[in-house]
Amino acid sequence: MKKLLYFIVAVAAMTFGSSCEDNFKGVNHIVEYCRLQVFRDGEMVFDDTNANWTFEKQDDGTYTLYMNETRFVEAMPMLDMEVRGMENDSASSDDAFSFAAAAIVPYYAGVEYPRYTLTDFSCKVSADGNNMEVGFNCAGYVVVYTKTIEYVLYE
């Protein structure tokens, strides 16, 4: 009787497994690779592959970078910071968006957060929208964030 029960469970698992695979045939999936690297004195002191920053155009035509659950070192609490008011300065066909500033104050909890003023700030988004690079200095650290989006076709 136990063998019959195991056989029924195995057949059910194979049936449900194959029907799930069939549901994904021909469907595009988005895979995001994100990486936040923080350097001090030329050495990497923090590496986070779970950081997921987003980028949006606002109603006023400016752009906002949302640095969700961000920290620059392990001991720092995770903060949701924003860089607001960026304008597209791209003059290259390689970039859909490009912005740079000598210094910019991020927002935290809806208000400016000058404690973490970002210097040598740059943000670029590739022409196809699949790559984003952000770099800046903050509190003695060099911060580099990259995001790559790939579209995977299941057959």
Under a CB-based contact definition with an 8 Å cutoff, are residues 53 and 66 in contact? Answer: yes
Q: What does the pLDDT average to over 94-118?
A: 94
Q: Which residue has the tokens 């995977």?
A: 152
**Sheet harboring 95-104: ordered strands across?**
43-48, 28-40, 141-153, 131-138, 118-126, 95-104
Residue 8: predicted pLDDT: 34
- The pLDDT, as a whole number, for residue 26 is 54
Mean pLDDT of 108-121: 94
Extract long-range pairs of 133-140: CB within 8 Å, 24+ residues apart. Answer: 134/53, 134/65, 136/104, 138/72, 139/72, 139/115, 140/40
Confidence of residue 136 (pLDDT cuts 50, 70, 90): very high
Is the pLDDT at 14 greater than 70? The verdict is no
Give 63-104 pLDDT, tens digit per residue.
Answer: 999 999 888 888 888 889 999 999 999 988 888 999 999 999
Average pLDDT, the chain: 82
Whether the predicted model's global pTM rises above the 0.75 cut? yes
Mean of the pLDDT values across residues 127-134? 92
Q: What percentage of the chain has pLDDT greater than the value 70?
A: 81
